[in-house]
């Protein structure tokens, strides 16, 4: 979504009709968000996405036929422009990391408030990542041994600044404006950082930045 003032088109995916209806009823009262459809599993979600062209897919992880993890992988290859926000009851770190590595842009637990749900949708719609508080605690609770050794990498001062801004949730365009450089240059820095750290996900970069003290722990 290139225009932050445009309507956010949301596809809801869950195998529980009451959950779908409840979320849709809440979102219908929010200016700037419109629910374009519902699906009950990953396969239905992919079919609906092809017809409805949503900006954001709010999807459960545990579903029959095709679960959320499998569906996220398919969305990444078939609909890379669509942002997938996972909604789950599971706060297991490995579970969250699998989903994020598969291509999800955010992860929230089903105990979040409706206000946080709306904030999460708006955040991923503009290209940023979002983790609910409980998901963040689980995600960043990994022991230091699981992280890359910073001494074995050589980020340039500019790459460190870009990594810090990325970890703060800023988009490539926002970083470009802050540093007075082009978006293409930010993208190049971002890819170089991923290659040097051998971290290919936004979640992994955020976790690394927090553990290295570049940004505050949530």
Instruction: Quote the pLDDT of residue 27.
Output: 94
Reading the block at residue 34, the tokens are 């419109």
Domains of the chain: 8-137 (3.40.50.2300), 144-211 (1.10.10.10)
In angstroms, the CA 195 to CA 197 distance is 6
Q: Is 98 exposed, middle or buried (0-12, 13-18, 19+ CB in 10 A)?
A: middle
Mean pLDDT of 69-93: 89
Instruction: Quote the pLDDT of residue 110.
Output: 85
Quote the mean pLDDT of the chain: 83
pTM: 0.65
Q: Which helix (H) or strand (E) holds 13?
A: strand 8-13
pLDDT digits (tens, 9 = 90+) for 147-180: 444 433 577 778 888 888 888 888 888 888 888 8
pLDDT digits (tens, 9 = 90+) for 95-152: 787 888 888 888 998 888 999 999 999 999 988 888 887 777 766 655 443 444 443 3
Q: Which of 43-57, 112-126, 128-142, 195-209 has the lowest mean pLDDT?
A: 128-142
Task: Give residue for tokens 């190049």.
Answer: 188
């Amino acid at each position: 979504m290139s225009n932050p003032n445009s309507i956010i088109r949301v596809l809801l995916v869950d195998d529980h009709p009451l959950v779908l209806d409840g979320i849709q009823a809440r979102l219908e009262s929010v200016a700037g968000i419109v629910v374009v459809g519902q699906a009950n599993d990953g396969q239905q979600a992919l079919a609906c996405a092809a017809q409805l062209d949503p900006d954001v897919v709010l999807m459960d992880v545990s579903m029959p036929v095709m679960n959320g993890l499998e569906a996220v992988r398919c969305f990444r290859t078939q609909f890379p422009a669509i942002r997938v926000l996972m909604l789950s009851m599971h706060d297991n770190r490995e579970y969250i990391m699998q989903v994020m590595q598969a291509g999800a842009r955010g992860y929230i637990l089903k105990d979040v408030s409706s206000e946080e749900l709306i904030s999460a949708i708006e955040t991923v719609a503009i290209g940023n990542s979002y983790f609910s508080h409980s998901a963040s605690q689980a995600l960043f609770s990994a022991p230091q041994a699981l992280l890359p050794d910073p001494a074995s990498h050589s980020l340039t001062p500019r790459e460190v600044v870009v990594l810090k801004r990325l970890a703060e949730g800023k988009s490539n365009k926002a970083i470009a404006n802050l540093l007075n450089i082009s978006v293409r240059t930010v993208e190049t820095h971002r890819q170089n950082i991923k290659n040097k750290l051998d971290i290919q996900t936004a979640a992994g970069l955020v976790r690394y930045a927090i553990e290295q003290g570049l940004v505050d722990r949530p």
